[in-house]
Structure 1
Amino acid sequence: MLLISMLLFSYASSQEKNKVPKNAPLFNQFTYRGDDRIYKENPLQTDEFYNPILQGCYPDPSITRKGNDYYLVNSSFSMFPGVPIFHSNDLVNWKQIGHVLDRTSQLKVENSGISAGIYAPDIKYSAYNDTFYMITTQIAGGIGNMVVKTKDPAKGWSDPIKLLFDGIDPSIFIDDDGKAFILHNDAPAKGKELYQGHRVIKMWDYDLQNDKIIPGTDKIIVDGGTDISQKPIWIEGPHLYKKNGLYYLMCAEGGTGGWHSEVIFVSDSPKGPYVPANNNPILTQRYFPANRTNKVDWAGHADLVEGPDGKYYGVFLAIRPNEKGQVNIGRETFILPVDWTGKYPVFENGLVPLKPKSKMPAGVKNQTGQNGFLPNGNFTFKDNFTSKNLDFRWIGIRGPRENFISTTKNGLTINPFQKSLNATTPTSTLFYRQQHSTFDATVNIKYTPGSEKDMAGLVCYQKETFHYVFGITKKGNDFYLVLARTEDGKTTNIASEKVDVRKPIRLQVEAQGAEYKFNYAVDQNEFKNLGGTVSGDILSTNVAGGFTGSLIGLYATSANDIQL
């Protein structure tokens, strides 16, 4: 009887948690439209595709291959679900097949800042045991370095296996004979740090059968970087490859900002010693004028794979700052062919200013934006939220989307949490990545707030302490549309205006580089601006700090702290 009572109580609690209040906001007809000048001025020829291949906040790419199937993953920090995973057969046309970490048993980010959580995932397929591995650092929930695995990336991944070592950016290498190793960035031994940013690459033997490092086998294989006498900083993101009987260690060096680069070492043995190539770096954008047009910068943190044409390719992160040098879009995923006809691999055109277009691999047709493949360049994304399954591009922060959303034949409802956008706990906000410098995003909202504590609308979010809120709330017997700016945790009301919530309302944000505007329309009338032109500076990592790009969110709260 006690067990039955407990089960009934648990069911009732679950139902209460997911119960949607009568005045929950209803969103539909979301449209995001990119309109960047660079794509209009550089139309594609039939044998070309655009870089980046993943626009918006998709940093730290890692790639692997099984037969003709390629899989790519990215860092996701405190986004939920975590580690987006993409599939391709040709390295140009990509479909998102889900997320590696899609359960709370895998992802413990509920109390994390936006730039904590999942760092630098590495994905590897091992032909030795026909298994995929994803190894990463989870800076949250007491997890640390961890690995998950699967036989089929499209059918879900195991729960995390903790790996008991310090440092970040782990990767796994499994040799032809089944011997396995873990590599990662770490601090020098205590008392051995020679300068700020001095790091090392460490290697462990790995017990593949029991999924654990072998204690006492750790060894520093790179100290400082390619030349420690030059005080190189932040050697990290290691990947190990075997080609022609030699072992190649590729790492990022210089930090993930303006001095970022990719460097290569070689050895006769997986444990070294590793000798740097004499032509390092093999990829960087650090040597070019700061005011160059169509600037791409911060290139590095790369991974290599053999393409379908037998040629090697490298995926890597880079940024495309706006006209004021602000990094609102975040770090994106690029790809370049790699010349490995000599002893060392070199990124083709990776040591000259990066171009917006690349040549297609031989025999490949560009299908981006068609047949279910992700779009590229300037495109429009529309979602009426009437499908049974939410598009993978929609994410939550710190917790599952399913905890606060419901899709109906009329659109998407959000069950508002008693948390505002400033919280470092899960908020009831559904996010889409900003993918262009020039864009507009529009959504219809039907909403009648019950009190001044209720608010729902559209947000532009860099982190919990830097964002814009453009939402509907109540004061007295009247309803208001409010635009508020939060910078370093301090909120300023920019503008407000009474609105008639009995009529359908459209909300819109539009941006041209560093300038943003928030507009609204009531009852199918023309858009009106609220608050004038505002600066997008707080949506840039240059101002807000951290590692993520700007997100556009559909937001609801029953703990509104923006006062009129």
Structure 2
Amino acid sequence: MAPETTAWQYDNPVIPGFHPDPSVCRVGEDYYLVCSSFEYFPGVPLFHSRDLVHWRQIGNVLDRPSQLPLPPDSSASDGIYAPTIRHHDGRFWMITTNVSQGGNFIVHAEKPEGPWSDPVWIDLPSIDPDLAWDEDGNCWCAFQGVQVARIDPEAGKVLEGPLPAWSGTGLQWPEAPHLYRIGEWWYLMIAEGGTERGHTVAMARATSPRGPWEAAPVNPVLTHRGTSHPVQSTGHADLVTGPDGEWWMVLLATRPRGYSPGFHVLGRETFLTPVGWQDGWPVVGPVALRERGPGTAPQPVEAAPRRDDFDAPALDPRWISPRSRPDDSWSLTERPGWLTLHATGSTLDRPGCTFLGRRQEHPTSRTEVLLDPGSGRAGLSIRVDEAHHYDLEVADGQVGVIARIGPVRQRVAIRSVPPGPVTLVITTRPTRELPPSDGEAVGVHDTPPDFVAFHVNDRPLAELDGRYLSTEVATGFTGRVIGVYATEGSASFDRFEHGPLDVPL
């Protein structure tokens, strides 16, 4: 059965914001976790923890253009899908899929911080590849479908298969397979039902990776479909055991809010839940927003700073950019203590712009930046993709709010600002800061997931409905990213802060 409750508890999600498709491995007392990154560069964020609850991003596995070729015209929600991280024979291994160019590939490293190797491409179809080694040292790869193959991970060669495996209970999209050797059994864990509200986790087992596979007597072993639980879309999971022998599951899930159908704006996030075993099968309860903690006491890693003054010699690994980040588009040295951006595109509505952002981590949040626009056009943007973003923009002595929603682009507010640096703030909260305007629609449910408000030099400028920056509206697989940009000339930024709104910055 499930492990007994211990003296302390933790909050879910353990990695908030757009961090989907988690995969985890343990080396000694250290845990390492990776997530999908889709069209963003650098790719595959890498986290470290000592207790599965407190995580710190220590880098990105794919931090060089040679590892992450993303065509400039690749679509949003393309790019890197569903990585798996494992440790075997003294090395770290990561396998994933670049759906925009190249397909499945493997990289490896002696240390998790890197450097990670250039990709070894492997001729296997589909997505969501996994790695597992048997007692003879053979490496097995499972992938969406579900199929398995014996491979040479260093040469990228398929040595046997692909062989058909257990493909679930009949729901759509059997995907996210992970193979585990536990005792005398091989377990195959998959996701089914699509990554939306019907998402599930299902299990089967066999005495060999070649099968035949026996389904768990009760499948799915985890799902929140058809419930009113505040956590939804539970699936795409991975298992790990602690030094004490207890088992845990990391998985993606969402926190939808607002009127039906509910909107999740942060994307799919990483959750943690305990796993028990009964009659040789995993037992997983509903994933709670507050769970019992693993072990007897937390062992947090150093918390990541909320404020970036751009004083370090390199960018914090949490900064990401759509598709690429040309070296000549940004600098930390041109103006020491500031991040200087040079425009590479004239609009955020098309790929190729200069944008550096951070994943929105808190449903109720505050993001602040100090901008010196110079003679350029620049600002602070909250975005899902090129067709869904709100921009707080400064140019020609004026500041304005621009809303891009699908085919519609509209300036909704404008004000003059004096020359020199200006403080820009974007907040998100479930209730209004400003009264409704005369032009707003009436006779509709005024219950979006949140309201997005814009302030300039501590003065409110505008407020917009947050539902239009959600996956339910924009579609795709990513969540909100808040960042700085330049679309004309050059501009400099300092004092970027992102945190929960109820805590003073």
Counterparts of residues 76-475 of structure 1 (less than 5 Å):
76-111=37-72, 112-126=74-88, 129-140=89-100, 142-185=101-144, 200-208=145-153, 210-214=155-159, 217-223=161-167, 225-226=168-169, 228=170, 232-289=171-228, 295-324=230-259, 325-347=262-284, 349-350=285-286, 354-365=287-298, 367=300, 372-374=302-304, 381-400=306-325, 402-407=327-332, 408-425=335-352, 427-449=353-375, 454-474=376-396
Calculate the TM-score normalised by the size of structure 2: 0.87
Please give the secondary structure, in 2, of the residue aligned with 1:542. Answer: helix
- 1:403 CA displacement: 4.0
Distance 1:358 1:401 in 2: 42
Please give the secondary structure, in 1, of the residue aligned with 2:468. Answer: helix
Contact 1:401–1:430 (CA<8 Å) still a contact in 2? no
Distance 1:494 1:400 in 2: 30
Distance 1:98 1:303 in 2: 21
Please give the secondary structure, in 1, of the residue aligned with 2:486. Answer: strand
- Partner amino acid, structure 1, of 2:429: Q
* Gaps in structure 1 of 5+ consecutive residues: 1-44, 186-199, 375-379, 522-526
Please give the secondary structure, in 1, of the residue aligned with 2:365. Answer: strand
- Partner amino acid, structure 2, of 1:257: E
Calculate the TM-score normalised by the size of structure 1: 0.79
- 1:366 CA displacement: 5.1
- 1:379-403 CA-partner distances (Å, limit 9, x unpaired): x811211122322222122113744
- Partner amino acid, structure 1, of 2:155: N
- Partner amino acid, structure 1, of 2:302: G
Contact 2:325–2:354 (CA<8 Å) still a contact in 1? no
* Gaps in structure 2 of 5+ consecutive residues: 1-5, 431-449, 491-505
Distance 2:153 2:452 in 1: 51
- Partner amino acid, structure 2, of 1:327: H
Distance 2:141 2:194 in 1: 22
Distance 1:419 1:391 in 2: 26
Distance 1:356 1:160 in 2: 37
Aligned CA distance change for structure 1 residues 219 and 483 (closer, same or farther; 3 Å): same
**Aligned partner of 1:496 among 403, 414, 421:** 414
Distance 1:434 1:553 in 2: 9
Please give the secondary structure, in 2, of the residue aligned with 1:154. Answer: coil
Distance 1:403 1:87 in 2: 31
Distance 2:118 2:349 in 1: 30
Q: Which has the higher contact order (CA 8 A, sep 6+)?
A: 1
Please give the secondary structure, in 1, of the residue aligned with 2:113. Answer: helix
Match of 1:24 in 2: none
Aligned CA distance change for structure 1 residues 373 and 381 (closer, same or farther; 3 Å): closer
Distance 1:77 1:170 in 2: 15
- 1:410 CA displacement: 3.5
Aligned CA distance change for structure 1 residues 439 and 258 (closer, same or farther; 3 Å): same
Aligned CA distance change for structure 1 residues 46 and 438 (closer, same or farther; 3 Å): farther
Aligned CA distance change for structure 1 residues 46 and 346 (closer, same or farther; 3 Å): closer
Decide which structure has the larger Cα Rg and report it.
Answer: 1
Contact 1:61–1:75 (CA<8 Å) still a contact in 2? yes
Distance 2:98 2:337 in 1: 38
- 1:406 CA displacement: 1.9
- 1:182-207 CA-partner distances (Å, limit 9, x unpaired): 1111xxxxxxxxxxxxxx30111212
Contact 1:116–1:139 (CA<8 Å) still a contact in 2? yes
**Aligned-pair Cα RMSD in Å:** 1.9
More helix by share: 1
Identity of aligned residues (%): 36
- 1:238-259 CA-partner distances (Å, limit 9, x unpaired): 0000111111000001100011
Contact 1:69–1:89 (CA<8 Å) still a contact in 2? yes
- Partner amino acid, structure 2, of 1:328: V
Count of equivalent residues: 461
Distance 1:559 1:487 in 2: 25
Distance 2:347 2:476 in 1: 20
- 1:209 CA displacement: 5.2
- 1:47 CA displacement: 1.3
